[in-house]
Amino acid sequence: MAADRTHTGRVHRLTQGPDWDLAPDYSPLAPPAGPPAGPDWRRPLDTLGTVLVPPQARPAPAEPPTELLPQVPQVPQVPQVPQVPQVPEFALPPRTTPFPPPPPPAPQPAPVARRGRRALALTAGLGLGRGERERERERLTATIRTPLHRSFRIAVVGLKGGVGKTSTTLALGSVLAEARADKVVAIDANPDTGTLSMRVHQETRATVHDLLAAEATITGYMDVRRFTSLTPSGLEILANDADPAIANSFSGEHYRRLVDLLSRQYPIILSDCGTGLLHSSMRAVLNLADQLVITATTSVDGASSADATLEWLYTNGYGSLAQRSVTLISSVRSNGRTIRVEELVAHFESRCRGVVVLPFDEHLALGGEFTPEKLRPKTRRAYLDLTALVAEGMHFAPPATGPHAAAAPTW
């Protein structure tokens, strides 16, 4: 074990010499004046003068000079957003001021219906440039191609003969067949021996009575097609019997069965009606029609019969059908008294949904085989306006209901 080399001896205090000022002063402090309150903490604990200074006697630490402290950049104080108390929805006070009015609706494109002087200008092709006419034609064609969800039935009616019902049926059906991809059929529903099939090239001598007689064997479109005549436009014609006695036996029940049969194969069905509104077949036509076309002329008789037709519809329970009907006014050349077209347009506008004016056309006046290519451009444009106006009614057609509602179509 290593020897203990610790040397102990008496510690001598430093004496005054040349370095006396540099040496620390370990001499005891002078006792405080007055009697001590307790043990004298200033009395050294050892020869080195060690004392234990109590906390209450310690001096406060001196603050360092400001210029010696590092400069800390001041951080901008972010203002605190006061917390908004959440108010329950039910506790909100009722609004005492009215809400601001909604903004005015955006301007909508002009409707297809051509009325008043605007109708005459468009029918005659006036006031529009070539580009505008093309855009208008495209818009009309798009309206005619309105999709259908069930068979749509159009009836062309009038109390007077010779006002263009058959020509209107053929022209309207031809435009629909050309513009749409649907099958379109026109029925001769005139119980007084109509002339619908006489105005086209006949492919068959079959009539509505022949089709009804073969009703039990009809299973598809081709079974119906052998009873119709197809025109170049794609319109199909179903003729009535040329014998007045047989044609007059075409009753309302026959018409209902016929429409129910055709609705399964044809999305659009047109009916060329007779002049007798009280005939049972005419009642069935009105009960099943979605859209009426009222034919009128600029002659006094033609205009009066059209107005009487509308009056009869309003007073016999067909007011809604009359209100959404369309009137076609055909211009005629006559030595007798005629009515100004502007006056007729203004009158019929107040009684139906729309009015179209048809200019005089020599091809229609002859009454022979109907050939759309022989019509004047203004006449073809008028029929296009009429078809678009009728097609607008496809949006208003109510769903088929009741015991005579058409079955689910196969097209």
Q: What is the pLDDT along the chain (411 residues), one digit of tens a residue?
A: 555 555 555 555 556 666 656 666 656 555 555 555 556 777 777 766 777 777 777 777 666 555 555 565 665 665 665 565 554 544 444 544 454 555 555 554 444 444 443 344 344 444 556 788 889 999 999 999 999 989 999 999 988 888 899 999 999 999 999 999 899 999 999 887 778 989 999 999 999 999 999 999 999 999 999 999 999 999 999 998 888 778 778 889 999 999 999 999 999 999 999 877 878 889 999 999 999 999 999 999 999 999 999 999 999 999 999 999 999 999 988 666 778 999 999 999 999 999 999 999 999 988 889 999 999 999 999 999 999 999 998 876 655 554 445 455 555
Q: What is the CA 209 to chain-centroid distance, rounded?
A: 43
Annotate 340-353 with DSSP letters as a single string.
-HHHHHHHHHTTSS
Distance, in Å, from the CA atom of 155 to the CA atom of 323, rounded to the nearest integer, reads: 14
Annotate 22-78 with DSSP letters as a single string.
GS---SPPPPPSS--SSS-TTS-SSTT------GGGSPPPPPPPGGGS--PPPPPPP
Q: Which of 401, 407, 406, 391 is nearest to 111 (CA)?
A: 391
**Distances in whole angstroms, Cα of residue 340 to Cα of each of 56, 303, 359:** 122, 11, 13
**Distances in whole angstroms, Cα of residue 107 to Cα of each of 6, 25, 104, 145, 202:** 114, 104, 9, 24, 49
**Would you state the pLDDT for residue 24?**
61
**Would you state the pLDDT for residue 210?**
94
Residue 4 is classified by DSSP as -
CB contact at 8 A, 181 and 332? no
User: Please, what are the domains in the chain?
Assistant: 116-141+148-395 (3.40.50.300)
Count the Cβ atoms, other than its own, within 10 Å of residue 51. Answer: 15
Order of strands across the sheet with 184-189? 229-230, 235-238, 184-189, 268-273, 152-157, 291-297, 326-330, 354-358
User: What token pair was written down for 18?
Assistant: 């040349």
CB contact at 8 A, 303 and 309? no
Distance, in Å, from the CA atom of 393 to the CA atom of 411, rounded to the nearest integer, reads: 21
The dihedral of CA 65, 69, 74, 79: what is its sign? negative
